[in-house]
Amino acid sequence: MSERNGAVSALGESALTGWRGAAGKAVARPIAKHTRFSEEDIRVAIGLLILAYTLYRILRPAIRALRESSR
């Protein structure tokens, strides 16, 4: 993951704010010690997962409402 796009890296890091950022940073160091990925790579991956989950939680009810209205 070290050759990733700068925009993707910035997006992942930007998702790590508040308590999510503190938790992501605390988890990234031990994971990086036991894998071949750097701490930054782990933080970016965690941030992207948090962002994807947030989008899922926001868009799922909207999509469900659209499907229900079309019936």
Token output for 9 = 């890296």
Q: Is residue 1 part of a domain?
A: no
pTM beyond 0.85: no
pLDDT in tens, the chain (71 residues): 445 578 888 888 888 888 888 998 899 999 999 999 999 999 999 999 999 999 999 999 999 999 988 87
Q: Is residue 54 part of a domain?
A: yes
- Residue 29: domain span: 6-69
Token output for 16 = 């790590």
Share of the chain above pLDDT 90, in %: 56
Question: How far, CA to CA in Å, does 47 sit from each of 9, 30, 52, 68?
Answer: 9, 16, 9, 32
Token output for 12 = 């992942």
The CA distance from 1 to 8, in Å, is 11
The CA distance from 6 to 18, in Å, is 22
Under 8 Å CB-to-CB from 29, ≥6 apart: which residues?
39
Our count of domains for the chain comes to: 1
